[in-house]
Amino acid sequence: MTSGSGDDINGVAVIRTRNGRRRRLEIRRLKCTCETMMNITITENGDVNGIISGDDDRRVKSLQLKNKEGNLSLQRSLALSSSTETSEENVVVSGFGERTCKKTDDSRSFTCMSHGLLSVIGRRREMEDAVKVELGFMDKGGERYDFYGVYDGHGGSRVAEACKERLHMVLAEGMVEEEGGNGIDWEKVMVEGFKKMDEEVNRGRFGEEMVGSTAVVAVVGKEKLVVANCGDSRAVLSRGGNAVALSCDHKPDRPDELERVEAAGGRVINWNGHRVLGVLATSRSIGDQCLKPFVISKPEVTVSVLTDHDEFLILASDGLWDVISNELACRVVRRCLNGQLRRKSLEAGHENRTAEAATVLVELAIARGSKDNISVMVVELRKPSTSVS
């Protein structure tokens, strides 16, 4: 064996040692002050049942999943914080924020905003997802708006992190600039905001690199829910017990996207999945200067009027949606919010069922074989009715 090959082997051994040490340190960071045992069973027809119990000293979650393929047991330690967002290198866990609104047709007040989120590296070697919550990021015409965003980077996390820091600010600036008495032109604000964000990252140090990010964002007011999506992350609303997709994934083989790419002179090649020029598995993103004009940053925008039938909103990266359907995701979250996954030992008023729901979805995606980073955000739009299953 030559000395050169011996050096290579030694180098690999050093890298493996460092990676092992890093993972052990990450596990230590994730240990927390409470321990809860959570047992969940998913029956063959898709029903979700479970109970959470534990003590107030430590929290460890044990997820037992059962489906048609068999049984799978999974254990993870997670830190849950209340009313704060904690960012680590590979894991982001958030508690919730909430506010109380008055309905215009009666004097009944209700909780119209609470949220929980979880973002994990999953089976990837690098964490490229980013998430952002900015409560009260904009006040316009006496109405307050909250912002929620999930960003799935590719080629690195830098564009996703840039979107996390800047996109909500760019959108707020666009809303301030809107004039006239007809209210906010949400589609115009979102399209121009995404375009400005795209120009910012492409003017920066990413302009000559194949680095980009998908973006799915939601702006929630007292009466309006606005979703803008660019890429293959997704937003799903639970309305009256039904799953309603508020975005459509921008996959290169989607017929209208395929037609657009080819009309611009590009090609979609099936190389380990359909990819633009055989490279990118999404046909829209922020960044990716090297793939323009085939990959564009223009989002698709949906504007919904909130009603009493709207229960919660799920925003997530494709690490979730690749293995879990809209309907199953809503069913899981609804059971969590209805208390069918309940914490016996936590003090009243300290529960965060939206964070619990996000955690259950992430662990279910891992159990179903998701190989991607997974970021999930659950936004509760009203208090759930225990009669809805």
Cα–Cα dist 23/1, whole Å: 32
pTM confidence score: 0.75
Ordered by start, the domain boundaries in the chain are 89-380
Greatest mean pLDDT range, 106-120, 136-150, 373-387? 136-150
pLDDT in tens, 223-269: 999 999 999 999 999 999 999 999 999 999 999 999 999 999 999 99
Give the pLDDT band of residue 175 (cuts 50, 70, 90).
Answer: confident
Tell me the average pLDDT across 116-133.
Answer: 96
Give the pLDDT band of residue 40 (cuts 50, 70, 90).
Answer: very low
Tell me the average pLDDT across 141-152.
Answer: 93
Q: Quick one: which H or E segment has residue 334? A: helix 326-337
pLDDT at residue 337 tops 50? yes
CATH class of 89-380: alpha beta
Q: Quick one: which H or E segment has residue 353? A: helix 353-367
CA torsion, ordered 256, 259, 265, 269, to nearest 10 deg: 90
Contact between 157 and 211 under an 8 Å Cβ cutoff? The reply is no
Give the pLDDT band of residue 141 (cuts 50, 70, 90).
Answer: confident
pLDDT in tens, 280-299: 999 999 999 999 999 999 99
Cα–Cα dist 218/322, whole Å: 21
The packing angle between helices 353-367 and 326-337, to 10°, is 140
pLDDT of 62: 35
Proportion of the chain above pLDDT 70, given as a percent = 64
pLDDT of 41: 40
Residue with tokens 């040490």: 21
pLDDT mean across residues, the chain: 77
Tell me the average pLDDT across 316-331.
Answer: 98
Q: Give the phi and the psi of residue 21 in degrees, each rounded to 5.
A: -65, -40
pLDDT in tens, 4-38: 555 556 665 666 666 666 655 554 444 332 222 23
Question: What single-letter amino acid sits at 17?
Answer: T
Residue with tokens 């004009």: 293
Q: Based on C-alpha coordinates, what's the Rg of the chain?
A: 22
Cα–Cα dist 227/316, whole Å: 13
Could you tell me how many helices (H) and strands (E) the chain has, helices first? 7, 20
What single DSSP character describes residue 206? T
Provide the 3-class DSSP secondary structure of residue 214: strand
